[in-house]
Structure 1
Amino acid sequence: MEHLTGTANLSHYIWTLIATRTTAQSVRDLCSLRMLCTVARNAGDEDFIYRCASIPISDQWWWSVSPMHQGRRNFLAQCRQSGNLEVLFRSVVSDLFPGGCRFAGMKTMHVVAAHGHSATQYTVSMMRMLRDDAEAKSKGLETFRGLEAASALTICKLVFCGIIQGMWTHLRHVPLLNTENLVCSSHACPSRGNMGAIYHHQRYGRGWHVNDGDGGVSYLPCVHCWVDYELILFVHLFD
């Protein structure tokens, strides 16, 4: 009978696969794995592992602000450097909306969105449509409709809301929503200008929640008014 291969004799490739599966489930388990042997530690240091690391939102926020977690901050820095999309997205959102840093980090946000991260694409589309710029609104609307076609809007809103709600209230900088920010510009549109009232009825009148999808406004014949409704929702995610 052949002897089973010992863990120390497993190839670096196998250890990398094990580390990838482990870090996608728990960073703490990855730390334990890396303590097994030198080969496991080396595999756990691959850039690909940091790219796949799954870190709970609460942990990432606490690690980034607590002076007691220098080692974990170093881990986060390696995740960002390796291109971990989820970590990058959360970090940029934390830079984008506190204090007076509304547009800080937008370059990184666009890079993450270009890699197909849906929640980032949602955030970028909302920020574009909040601008008083026809071209920006058009690009934002195109992205929004792509997410809607892929049935990704609800999960994007939930992910974004989870990050925003994890930030301290006094640090949040709420995006502005004025008349010039609205997308629908047709004076002949029967629903134009009514989205605020519909939003308040849907949310406060019948207890609507963000995970209810479109909140019951998909029946609107004007997609631009629907987007105006979504912009109102986006701003109120900061409440």
Structure 2
Amino acid sequence: MTVECFSNIAFIPNDIWVEITIKVATDSIRDLCSLRMTCKAARDAGEAEIVHRSVSIPPPHATPWWWCLNPEAKRFFDRCMVAGNPELLFREALRELFIRRNENAGLQMLNSATNTEHVAAKYALTMTLLLRTDDNDEKQRGLKLYRELDAAGSLTDCKARCFSIMTISWPGEVQIPRIEEQQTVCASPACSTRGHMPLLYDYRRRAAERNSVHAFGGPAHIPCIKCRADYEMQAFVNLA
């Protein structure tokens, strides 16, 4: 007796396949590749631009070295970049800003990634805006973004993300501008902590080198939000 097995895969609409593929892509790039090899419907769904935009890009330390040499892998990541993948936009923005020194392109990419709620891109955008001396409106926008990150408790994780990318992906290549006196955020003559953030940062950094408990805490106890932003700027420019 012959038993015939029928599959309903052919009757699943393409938009449902795309939704399934997006879910897989946001979990694992390897799982996405495996799914695309299962059938033609999955392969076709994997070609959608929104899937490339949604792919979860592994951190630099978890990325196989041969991906940058494999032509197929390079084409895949190029398609993700063209589709506006937030993580790739974030990384390329850091390259444009701090290696190629192309501020316009870098800011455009950071803005695009930030609009997708990419928190590390929002942090990098915040620091870049605060470091500006030529546009006070943009500096005020940077302070607004800093307040949001500070309130959400996201600063430490975002800083670690930036550090990981800039030191693992491009060791020794990154050049972040130094902070000039006119770039400080806090300008109030009545503020008791104004101008002290570089000293506090240096103190915390030296304490960290000695593995001292005084390395922890940062400016969290400083009541002035603008001085805390000045401290974060000190930490950012010393990432690379």
TM-score (normalised: structure 1): 0.84
User: 1:99: how far off?
Assistant: 4.4
Instruction: Give the match's secondary structure for 1:171.
Output: coil
| TM-score calculated relative to the size of structure 2 | 0.83
Q: Distance in 2 between matches of 1:104 and 1:229?
A: 27
Farther-moved stretch of structure 1 (171-180 vs 21-30): 21-30
Contact persistence 2:123–2:158 (CA under 8 A): yes
Cα 1:121–1:5 shift into 2, 3 Å: farther
Structural RMSD (CA): 2.9
Q: Which amino acid aligns with 1:122?
A: Y
Q: Name stretches of at least 5 consecutive residues in structure 1 with no aligned partner.
A: none
Q: Report what 2:107 is aligned to.
A: 106
Match of 2:71 in 1: 70
Consecutive unaligned residues of structure 2, counting only runs of 5 or more, are: none
Partner of 1:26: 28
Counterpart of 1:170?
Answer: 172
Are 2:201 and 2:234, in contact at CA under 8 Å, matched by a contact in 1? yes
Selected match of 1:36 from 35, 38, 46:
38
**1:120-131 equivalence runs, <5 A:** 120-131=121-132
CA distance in 1, matches of 2:105, 2:178: 16
Deviations 1:58-103 (A, max 9, x none): 2779578x4x322112111211222221121112212221144455
State how far apart, in whole Å, the 2-side matches of 1:20 and 1:102 are. 32
1:226 and 2:233 correspond: no
Asked if 2 retains the 8 angstrom alpha-carbon contact of 1:119 and 1:157, the reply is yes
Task: Count the aligned residue pairs.
Answer: 232
Residues 204, 189 of structure 1: alpha-carbon distance in 2 compared, 3 angstrom cutoff = same
* Aligned equivalents of 2:119, 2:6: Cα separation in 1: 42
Mapping 1:203-222, distance limit 5 Å: 203-206=205-208, 215-222=217-224
* Identical-residue share of aligned pairs (%): 33
Q: 1:82 to 1:100 in 2, by over 3 A?
A: closer
Alignment of 1:127-146 (within 5 A): 127-132=128-133, 133-146=135-148
